[in-house]
Structure 1
Amino acid sequence: MNPQFIGSLVKKLSRLESPNQALNFFKWASKRSDASASPELYSAIIHGLTKAKLYSKAGYGVFATGARRGSDLVYHRIDGMPGIHACNSLLDGLHKMGRFESMWGIYGDMISRGMVSNVVTYSTMINGCCSQGNVAKARFLFDEMVERNKIAPNVVTYTSLICCLCKEGLVMEANDLFRKMRLSGVLPNLYTYNAMMDGYCKMADVGRALSLYEEMLGGGGDGLRPNVVTFGILIDGFCRLGELEKAREFFFDMVKFSVLPNLFIYNCLIDGYCKAGRFRDSLCLCSEMVKVGLWPDIFTCNILIKGFCGTGRVEEGVDLLNKIQREGVVPNSITYNSLIDGYVKDGNMEGALKLCSQMTHNGVEPNVISFSCLIDGHCEEGKMEAATGLYSEMMVKGFVPDVEGRNSDAVKLLSELKGCKSNERASNQVVNMDGVFPNKVTYMVLIFGLCRDGLIFEAMKFFKAMRGLCMVPDAVTYAVIMQRSCQIKRSIEAMMFLADMIKVGITLDPDTYHLIGDNSSGTKAQFMLA
């Protein structure tokens, strides 16, 4: 049994769509001493297995048991490299497996051994660069292929680079390449059009995406038919702009092309309706989705839970959370944060704290948004000690306030107070904080911080400014400023604060009365303001 016969048999087995039989025969034959002289044997098995999309098995000739062992098995067991087609197949397989280091290793060995790359090699490697987000390297390979090696790019090469550029937000550069592609006589395919349309939609230029869509359906796209990805791109683009009727129009157009909507498309529309305040339409669409056999995923559930909370139906959101957990859908931080925020806005801090504990118990760590919601809630209730405690915990965990999309005045101001030796700099900024007029919570946090630092006159100034804007402090704010006034022997001011408190109808509990009366040692106040 000579090597030529072995290679021929492997090829036949691969062509007969029996790649596993070919692999078993290959394993047996490769142990023979005369097999080491046959690069064709390795080429045949690699090509056959990659053609059958058995990428991990295709690596058998180069990688043993899934662990990289360099290219020893090829280079030491055969006299030379496999052919270019087998190498291209192997590179493609490694790319699809996400084994980029191995892919570049094989490519480097091909170059060092003098193997001449062809358009398939370059297309595969450019595609690999794009998967890694390495635009610079993709550009370099493209230029090397065209300018130095005079290899004409094909539709796959162009599309790979266009897709990469669009993903990185370089849509105008992608458009230039798209135009150059057509001028060179290479017709774009559906993937090319989808990549360009997605790029335009991501930069909120749905008009140009729509023009490309119409061109694709006409002669410019050689009569290409849109697929579910095409419709998903356009529907998502219109939903992001709030053009729901246009999005719905494309949703119905899918039927004309016999394209069934997928979960992504339903999620886009459901989210669009929620953001437009049409929550009932979102629920109807979700029911419609279930009827056609698509079950909500975590993205759908997060959209609906946020919708429930935004319409004051937090308990229904919690019911949905419990339901999805029973059905095996794992909630994430977005799920819990929406509900925590909903509870806080409803004034139900007990529910918010309980849900935060449940979140931690289920292995989901609270993030900066979780902390910001709870800090706001504590400030609204006047529990400044709890708010500052949570803020300190947030800082210890390394979270940076306001980096994840939640604008919390309380957290902003606590950050200012924590960063200053005194609160004077923070108080100077509060009147116009990032162009936003301070609200009740902002004033209460600042008054609390100023009192804590002994800046009672500054605190009085902001208290009066707050009342001048018809904002009513809570009982704790009144108690703190009265207690500090008494400590510095400003009894008249303390009595004025008390009279104002009675006037607005705020009552103090026994603990707060004791706090005010303890104006000599200030032990309870020190505990509260520490």
Structure 2
Amino acid sequence: MATSLRTTLKFTTTTLHHRRYSAASILNPDSRAALSSKEKSRAALTLLKSESDPTRILQICKAASLTPESHLDRIAYSKAISKLKSLNQTPKIRSFLQESATRPDLKSERAVAHFIVLYGQAGMVDEAVKTFEEMEGIPRTEKTLNSLLFACVLGKDYAKMKRVFVEFPKRYDLVPNLDTYNTVIKGFCESGSSSSVYSILDEMRRENVKPNAETFGNCITGFYKEGKYEDVGKMLVMMNEYNMAPGISTYNIRIQSLCKLKKSGEAKALLDGILSRGLKANRVTYGHLILGFCREGNLEEAKSMFRKMVNSGLKPDAECYFTMVYYLCQGRDFEAALKIYKRCLDDGWVPNFSTMKSLVEGLASIEKVDEAREVIAQVKEKISRNVEKWNEIEEALPKDVSG
């Protein structure tokens, strides 16, 4: 559900400016020549979102001449790999990344590091290790080592992550840094081996590498996940030993962890304690609590958290809006969902099709057909996709609810 909630568009002048061309023009050599690199990247992203043909996915990437030096292109690379992985196209992923690595303009440490990560994203950890081991003309550095460790974590090959961490620094004369340790700690915590972080923290102390908020955040997340609450307390004590007062980011991790454990009531109590000590919560804090209460079916508490956030002067983000509309519709509180949707629309966001369909049909079910028609008109105005589906839904609405 979380993934579907994120499937949305925000409408701004900039977005419209970049859509003055047809995204498909990137596949036409004559039209492609007239596009800037940024326009090619945007076109590629637009096409990749809806493409499911493996051959076409590769054609789009090649037409855009993607490069890891560009933020947009890194997103496009990731999108393409995710699509190909979901289609079980391991050979195509391998040939695509191998071909990319041979491009003269991609012979850089940054490019290789990114390809290593992409192999991990594809679940091809052995290929990631091989790429690291066979680097030619580009020196292996802590950056590429950290990319390999991250690839192992992405690919959920925690045994290989541990082997790389233990063996490769010595083999290639590399010195683990803070990012190295944080990645390994993250891997241990994700794999259910959070107790192993103590040995990593001891090594960091010996090597004079000071932990940061991310270090302890990963540890705390892992201990909560395994229900090791005493260890959470130990991490907070250790933070104090390093003169690190827990900030809102640390509390957000604790609140999110409790909500994932369906302990949103405890998370709310933690928030109350934060506020009583004068520390300000942010919209991330409230977002975790709202999602937590929604998942537990406590919509009244979720609405209360939403009001408290807004009254605190904090602006909800798109995900928060979508969460509220989705779960309120699931709970058949369509009037409340409509109010949240209107705020969402005012801020330039529209939830995805399935959520909006639930809202429209829900409004019709409680005899608010005019409101349902108004919502359909707004969505059709904002998003050109699914117009025919919306026409069908509108046609199916009751024609006359008067009397």
TM-score normalised according to structure 1 size = 0.43
Deviation at 1:236, TM superposition (A): 0.7
RMSD of Structure 2 on Structure 1 (CA) = 4.4
Letter in 2 for 1:200: C
Q: Give the 3-state SS of the residue equivalent to 1:130 in structure 2.
A: coil
Distance (whole Å) between structure 2 residues aligned to residue 378 and residue 177 of structure 1: 48
Per-residue deviation, residues 248-299 of structure 1 (Å, max 9, x unmatched): 3323333343333222110001111222233453244223213321233443
Q: Does 1:271 align with 2:225?
A: no
Distance (whole Å) between structure 2 residues aligned to residue 395 and residue 339 of structure 1: 22
The answer for the alignment partner of 1:318 in structure 2 is: 271
Cα distance, 1:384–1:348 mapped onto 2, change above 3 Å:
closer
Cα distance, 1:209–1:306 mapped onto 2, change above 3 Å:
closer
Give the unaligned 5+ runs of structure 2. Answer: 1-36, 39-66, 78-96, 370-400
Per-residue deviation, residues 58-92 of structure 1 (Å, max 9, x unmatched): xxxxxxxxxxxxxxxxxxxxxxxxxxxxxxxxxxx
The answer for the alignment partner of 1:290 in structure 2 is: 240
Deviation at 1:399, TM superposition (A): 3.1
Q: 1:178 aligns with which of 132, 145, 168?
A: 132
Work out whether residues 368 and 399 of structure 1, in 8 Å CA contact, stay in contact via their aligned partners in 2.
no
The answer for the alignment partner of 2:357 in structure 1 is: 415
Deviation at 1:189, TM superposition (A): 3.0
Work out whether residues 305 and 335 of structure 1, in 8 Å CA contact, stay in contact via their aligned partners in 2.
yes
Q: Give the 3-state SS of the residue equivalent to 1:255 in structure 2.
A: helix
Per-residue deviation, residues 297-349 of structure 1 (Å, max 9, x unmatched): 4431211223455423244233244257x34x5612x3112233455648572
Q: 2:158 aligns with which of 206, 222, 238?
A: 206
Deviation at 1:230, TM superposition (A): 1.2
Distance (whole Å) between structure 2 residues aligned to residue 192 and residue 314 of structure 1: 38
Letter in 1 for 2:315: V
Distance (whole Å) between structure 2 residues aligned to residue 129 and residue 367 of structure 1: 27
Cα distance, 1:141–1:450 mapped onto 2, change above 3 Å:
closer
Deviation at 1:217, TM superposition (A): 4.0
Work out whether residues 68 and 110 of structure 2, in 8 Å CA contact, stay in contact via their aligned partners in 1.
no
Q: Give the 3-state SS of the residue equivalent to 2:69 in structure 1.
A: helix
Q: 1:244 aligns with which of 194, 204, 221?
A: 194
Q: 1:130 aligns with which of 62, 69, 83?
A: 69
The answer for the alignment partner of 2:290 in structure 1 is: 340
Distance (whole Å) between structure 2 residues aligned to residue 217 and residue 379 of structure 1: 51
Distance (whole Å) between structure 2 residues aligned to residue 237 and residue 340 of structure 1: 28
Work out whether residues 167 and 199 of structure 1, in 8 Å CA contact, stay in contact via their aligned partners in 2.
yes
Per-residue deviation, residues 143-182 of structure 1 (Å, max 9, x unmatched): 4379xxxxxx7xxx3x322212234447666544423326
Q: What aligned pairs does 1:9-158 form with structure 2 within 5 A after superposition?
A: 129-130=68-69, 132=71, 134=73, 143-144=103-104, 157=108
The answer for the alignment partner of 1:43 in structure 2 is: none
Deviation at 1:238, TM superposition (A): 1.7
Letter in 2 for 1:130: E
Q: Give the 3-state SS of the residue equivalent to 1:178 in structure 2.
A: helix
Per-residue deviation, residues 402-436 of structure 1 (Å, max 9, x unmatched): 9xxxxxxxx85x734736xxxxxxxxxxxxxxxxx
Distance (whole Å) between structure 1 residues aligned to residue 139 and residue 317 of structure 2: 50
The answer for the alignment partner of 2:57 in structure 1 is: none
Cα distance, 1:226–1:236 mapped onto 2, change above 3 Å:
same
Cα distance, 1:417–1:330 mapped onto 2, change above 3 Å:
closer
The answer for the alignment partner of 1:305 in structure 2 is: 255
Distance (whole Å) between structure 2 residues aligned to residue 250 and residue 215 of structure 1: 15
Q: Give the 3-state SS of the residue equivalent to 2:214 in structure 1.
A: helix
The answer for the alignment partner of 2:178 in structure 1 is: 228
Work out whether residues 343 and 352 of structure 1, in 8 Å CA contact, stay in contact via their aligned partners in 2.
yes
Distance (whole Å) between structure 2 residues aligned to residue 450 and residue 129 of structure 1: 50
Per-residue deviation, residues 188-221 of structure 1 (Å, max 9, x unmatched): 2333222211222122122222222222243x22
Q: Give the 3-state SS of the residue equivalent to 1:313 in structure 2.
A: helix
Work out whether residues 308 and 316 of structure 1, in 8 Å CA contact, stay in contact via their aligned partners in 2.
no
Work out whether residues 282 and 314 of structure 2, in 8 Å CA contact, stay in contact via their aligned partners in 1.
no
Q: Give the 3-state SS of the residue equivalent to 1:293 in structure 2.
A: coil
Distance (whole Å) between structure 2 residues aligned to residue 164 and residue 133 of structure 1: 13
Cα distance, 1:392–1:418 mapped onto 2, change above 3 Å:
farther
Letter in 1 for 2:285: T
Per-residue deviation, residues 333-374 of structure 1 (Å, max 9, x unmatched): x3112233455648572x543432332342322534445347
Deviation at 1:450, TM superposition (A): 5.2
Give the % identical residues. Answer: 18
Letter in 2 for 1:418: V
Give the unaligned 5+ runs of structure 1. Answer: 1-99, 102-127, 147-152, 403-410, 420-444, 455-521
- Larger relative contact order (C-alpha < 8 A, sep ≥ 6)? 2
